[in-house]
Structure 1
Amino acid sequence: MRIGLIADTHNLLRPEALAALQGVDHLIHAGDIGGPHILEELGRIAPLSVVRGNNDQEAWAEAIPERLTLRFGAISLHVRHDLKQLDIDPAAQGIDAVIAGHSHKPLHEMRDGVLYLNPGSAGPRRFKLPIGVGLLHIDGDQFRAELITLQV
């Protein structure tokens, strides 16, 4: 199973991001979406799970949760826009990976047996940070992450 990871689109869904996410089995948007049309477009690719970012404050985003815990087979994921607002102990709760956005900075790091992932920003460039998305490859109880820098 392949899970596509995207964050911080800020109302800009680049064709390069859409191309990189084609063929995934599920998509996760880690917040700062920008508008409902972004979710509609992503929903055409695969089933979509979404958390609200700090900039998703308009009425269209009111029903979007601030955090999600998802399970794909044996793998448990926790999604939160801003890692600094993480209010659980992922290792103690059996979470395999935490997915976040907010910083626009790609992250792929193990902490206490939990993988922390930020696919980076797929929307407007911030500072000199790369534009990117991610993939999570799940096979039974094994998984691996891939961060993809988009050439834009």
Structure 2
Amino acid sequence: MEQYLIVSDIHGRYSWLTAAIQQAGQVDGILFLGDGWRDVQQLRTEGYSMPIFPVQGNCDLPVAPVTQTLELAGHTLLLCHGHIYHVKDNLARLAQAAKEQGAEGALFGHTHLPTLEQQDGVWLFNPGSLGAPRFGGPSYGILRLEGHDLQLEHRELTL
């Protein structure tokens, strides 16, 4: 089984990022969905060594790709911040982009709202925001991959 921490929209709350890492327990890597690149870079400075798969958010400098398609344990996922697909309007463009990439799911941020839904046969997941949550507390996501099973879960950060 592989397990990944999914984070987005950290916006300078580095201590909340490290708290999420601690609370998530053993993970095989971090899927970073944008807006908090400096916080993610600080992990490296402080010696965190797990793999980090980043995408650029609308508030980040252009230091990471805007989208990234990953193959993890036989599952194809599209990672993006979401702003280029106008996810604040609807998720149809994002679902279409994921289908075009052959992805079974798309992970995104930008709205700061935890989301899990299926559109057109594609899973769409937003972990919410660690640093600037809307309508609730700071949150993150967990992705579990085991064989053909893909599980996505929201978790609220306990401060």
TM range (shorter): 0.7 to 0.9
Asked if structure 2 preserves the Cα contact closer than 8 Å seen for 1:73 and 1:140, the reply is yes
Asked if structure 2 preserves the Cα contact closer than 8 Å seen for 1:23 and 1:45, the reply is no
Deviation string, structure 1 residues 11-43 (Cα, Å, up to 9, x no partner): 1121431212331012100000151x4334177
Q: Counterpart in 1 of 2:56?
A: 52
Task: Determine if the alignment matches structure 1 residue 105 to structure 2 residue 113.
Answer: yes
Q: Counterpart in 1 of 2:90?
A: none
Task: Determine if the alignment matches structure 1 residue 124 to structure 2 residue 132.
Answer: yes
Alpha-carbon RMSD across the aligned residues, in angstroms, is: 2.1
SS in 2 for 1:98: strand
TM-score (norm 2): 0.81
TM-score (norm 1): 0.85
Q: Which runs of 5 or more structure 2 residues have no equivalent in the other structure?
A: 88-92
Percent identical among aligned pairs is: 27
Q: Which runs of 5 or more structure 1 residues have no equivalent in the other structure?
A: none
Change (3 A) 1:132 1:11: same
Task: Determine if the alignment matches structure 1 residue 22 to structure 2 residue 25.
Answer: yes
Tell me the matched-pair count: 146
Deviation string, structure 1 residues 42-94 (Cα, Å, up to 9, x no partner): 7715200000100013xxxx331110000012100101101426565323432
Q: Counterpart in 2 of 1:150?
A: 157
State the alpha-carbon separation in 1 of the partners of residues 156 and 86 from structure 2: 24
SS in 2 for 1:90: helix
Asked if structure 1 preserves the Cα contact closer than 8 Å seen for 2:9 and 2:112, the reply is yes
- Larger mean CA deviation between 78-87 and 106-115 belongs to 78-87
Equivalent position to 1:32, from 35, 41, 62: 35
Change (3 A) 1:133 1:11: same
Asked if structure 2 preserves the Cα contact closer than 8 Å seen for 1:120 and 1:131, the reply is yes
Higher percent of residues as helix = 2
SS in 1 for 2:117: strand
Q: Counterpart in 1 of 2:76?
A: 76
Q: Counterpart in 1 of 2:145?
A: 138
Letter in 2 for 1:51: V
Change (3 A) 1:89 1:125: closer
Q: Counterpart in 1 of 2:65?
A: 65
State the alpha-carbon separation in 1 of the partners of residues 76 and 41 from structure 2: 23
State the alpha-carbon separation in 2 of the partners of residues 39 and 113 from structure 1: 34
